[in-house]
Amino acid sequence: MKKHCCEDMTYHANFKSEIHENPNKCPDKLIIFNEKANDYSLIIHDGGSSSIGISFCPWCNTNL
């Protein structure tokens, strides 16, 4: 498991819903972490599967 920049990012990057199988359908899932590309995205909860890449942590402002 990758060490993320802070506890909040670790929690959100590793969050797995017990109710929703699809992370895009879960309102509690905020961050998608792609291990292969080592990048982070914010999920856009608009009913689709869109996300937007981020370069800084939304909680601690560390450069990702």
pTM of the model: 0.84
46: amino acid identity, one letter: D
| Six-digit token string for 35 | 């291990």
Domain ranges of the chain: 7-54
Please, which pLDDT band fits residue 3 given cuts at 50, 70 and 90?
A: confident
Q: How far apart are CA 40 and CA 58, in angstroms?
A: 11
Residue identified by tokens 């914010």 is 42
pLDDT, one tens digit per residue, over 37-57 is 999 999 999 989 999 999 999
Determine the length of the chain. Answer: 64
Q: Is 61 left (phi over 0), alpha (psi -120 to 50) or beta?
A: left
**Coil vs helix vs strand at 60:** coil
